[in-house]
Amino acid sequence: MSDTLSVGMIGSGGIAQSHMRAIAGLENVRVAAVMDVDETRAQAAGDEHGARAYASLDDILGDTEVGAVHVCTPHSLHVSQTVAAAEAGKHVLVEKPMALSVADCDRMIAACDDAGKTLMVGQVLRYYPINRAVKQMIAEGRIGNVGHLIRRRYSYFDAGSPTSGYPGWYRDLEVGGICVLYCFGPHEYDILPWYLDSPVVEVYSRGTASTTLYEGQKDSYTTMMTHENGAVSVLSQSVVCHAGAGDQFIVGSEGSMRFTNGELTVNGEAVDVEGSAGEGMGRQIREFAECCLTGATPDASGRSVRHSMAVIEAARHSAERMAPVQVSEFG
């Protein structure tokens, strides 16, 4: 067995470029091929990274040197491209969101299981050193039993505008899903149960359309989640807040943590964490390659991340019904 994984990039946009830049610094993975429906863009990316360029999915999946693919395309394409890759005998790292429905997540998991291939989701926040430190301190009982978490993420995401650099499909419900839930939410709804190693059992969510920027969908959500271990977490998000900010507070029986402006404090005292968020992508891809080469299961496996997508789906339905929703309703 080779000690290097040859991968094909499905998509060559901004997030795919982030993947390829990270791969350039790794020893156990290389970019062998790039595919994009825009043939000129595919060729440019291929030339930059010393890879073959393709303009069709069938062509890159037919490349026998490609052992795995990174799916870095619009959200609605994730399910079909992942299933096709598994059926072609490729391992899959799919960018978040895993899919736009739990039913599609199940199709992806089943296809990779049937093919005996690794399925990992790009939940890069799990690979940030700061988040690993928080999870470890909680597991070690640094602040006792955690009972309450608050996490906030506010930004102004004007997708499709001439200055944003992001394509307009992020506003298309059929292609991108509700933006605040399916573009930014997969990070936020994933990290809280991951910190606690405790799944969410009940969700109560409310959404608002604060502006007309995302016409036809809510642009801000606040969700209260009850975890299996009894802890309660509150997540508040907006993609129309001009004063962007993000922070979190974790309250335990013997202390508390705060993370804001890149600084982690425990009981008011700063905690130094080695490494930066910029290392997350490389750590994530390195683990994917190791799992493909050895048969190990990645932390952000399809089965693990399926739960996060079920929580998002529950939050969407809770906001529509204006009532609490059991996550078990979505499997």
Decide if pLDDT at 316 tops 80: yes
Q: Give residue 40's pLDDT.
A: 96
Strand partners of residue 237: 153, 221
pLDDT tens readout for residues 270-302: 999 999 999 999 999 999 999 999 999 999 999
Q: What are phi and psi of 195, to 5 degrees?
A: -50, -50
Decide if pLDDT at 324 tops 90: yes
Length of the chain: 331
Dig out the tokens for 245 from the structure: 């900010």
Dig out the tokens for 65 from the structure: 């040197």
Peptide bond into 97 cis (omega under 30): yes
Confidence of residue 213 (pLDDT cuts 50, 70, 90): very high
Q: Give residue 138's pLDDT.
A: 98
Q: Give residue 165's pLDDT.
A: 85
Q: What are phi and psi of 230, to 5 degrees?
A: 95, -10
Decide if pLDDT at 1 tops 60: no
pTM exceeds 0.75 for this model: yes
pLDDT tens readout for residues 82-113: 999 999 999 999 999 999 999 999 999 999 99
Decide if pLDDT at 320 tops 90: yes
DSSP letter assigned to residue 50: T
Give one word for 230, left, alpha or beta, with left for phi > 0 and alpha for psi -120 to 50.
Answer: left
> Could you confirm whether domain 126-276+308-330 is CATH 3.30.360.10?
yes
pLDDT tens readout for residues 241-274: 998 899 999 999 999 999 998 899 999 999 999 9
Q: How far is CA 19 from the centre of its chain?
A: 13
Q: Give residue 262's pLDDT.
A: 84
DSSP letter assigned to residue 199: -
Which distant-in-sequence residues (6+ apart) come within 8 Å of 139 by Cβ?
A: 197
Dig out the tokens for 10 from the structure: 């499905």
Residue 192 CA to residue 202 CA, distance in Å, equals: 14
Q: What single letter denotes the amino acid at residue 273?
A: V
> Which residue ranges make up each domain of the chain?
5-124+282-299, 126-276+308-330
For the domain with range 5-124+282-299, which CATH number is right: 3.30.420.10, 3.30.360.10, 3.40.50.1950, 3.40.50.720?
Answer: 3.40.50.720
Sheet holding 240-252, edge to edge: 269-271, 263-266, 255-260, 240-252, 146-156, 232-238, 220-227, 200-208, 325-326
Q: Give residue 263's pLDDT.
A: 92
